Amino acid sequence: MRLYLVSRNPKKVEELAHLAKACGIELVPIDIPKVEIQSEILVEVALYSATVAHLSVKRPLIVEDSGLFVKSLNMFPGALSSYVYKTIGVRGVLKLMEGVEDREAFFESVIALAAPTLDGVKTFRGSVRGRIAEEPRGTGGFGFDPIFVPEGYTTTFAEMGIEEKNAVSHRGMAFRALCRWLLENCERIACEGWT
């Protein structure tokens, strides 16, 4: 089965391609703009992006929207994570956290699936709890990976390989939910014919 992926983030594409392969899906990135509404709610952003992309390409596709939510910053940057990363970056977030003891945070991911044989857009969610490190560590991954330590680990996401990160990450959890749903519903939605 083939699924198109609307994303211009090569690292995200790489992580999702690994997850798709494990699910027997061929994931094909398409280079169209991901139209994003301004909302604090990831599901709303993903639903809208998938709807708009599907109207233009009319093929089975997914979009993934994610964000980092820091408890002591009242869940900032959340749905604004991409913008915050581009502006103040990892260093900026660490500065906001200077002297802050409560370093609890979580990542959330929403994958929205749209396809011609599907009634509406279907969403899948994943999240991972962890904490914000005192300083950046590691060179892998992307975005806030160097400062996020998932619960039960001492290493940051940036110190993990793709497979290890996917096994615990918000994105991995959301994609596995999508995979399970496709396996259970493939016949009903004729997903074998998706090309």
The answer to whether residue 65 is catalytic is yes
Site for ligand IMP in 81-100 (CB under 6 A): 81-82, 85
Give me the numbers of helices (H) and strands (E) for the chain, helices first please. Answer: 6, 7
Q: Among residues 60, 126, 141, 172, which is the contact residue for ligand IMP, using CB under 6 A? A: 141
Does 4 participate in binding ligand IMP (rule CB under 6 A)?
A: no
Using CB under 6 A, pick the residue from 69, 106, 144, 175 that binds ligand IMP.
144
Q: Which residue is nearest to ligand IMP (CB)?
A: 143
Residue 67 found at the interface with ligand IMP (CB under 6 A): yes
* Residue from 65, 112, 114, 160 binding ligand IMP (CB under 6 A): 65
Piece in contact with ligand IMP (CB under 6 A), picked from 51-59, 78-86, 129-137, 187-195: 78-86
Is residue 9 a contact residue for ligand IMP (CB under 6 A)? yes
**Set 65, 102, 119, 145: catalytic member:** 65
Distance CA 94, CA 53 (A): 35
Q: Please, what is the minimum distance in Å from the beta carbon of residue 53 to ligand IMP?
A: 13
Residue 169 in contact with ligand IMP, rule: CB under 6 A = yes
Q: Give the 3-state DSSP-derived string for the chain, with helices as H, strands as E and coil as C.
A: CEEEEECCCHHHHHHHHHHHHHCCCEEEEECCCCCCCCCCCHHHHHHHHHHHHHHHHCCCEEEEEEEEEEHHHCCEEECCHHHHHHHCHHHHHHHHCCCCCCCEEEEEEEEEEECCCCCCCEEEEEEEEEEECCCCCCCCCCCCHHHEEECCCCCCHHHCCHHHHHHHCHHHHHHHHHHHHHHHHHHHHCHHHCC
Catalytic residue annotation: 65
Q: Which residues here bind ligand IMP, judged by CB under 6 A?
A: 9, 65-68, 81-82, 85, 107, 141-145, 157, 169, 171
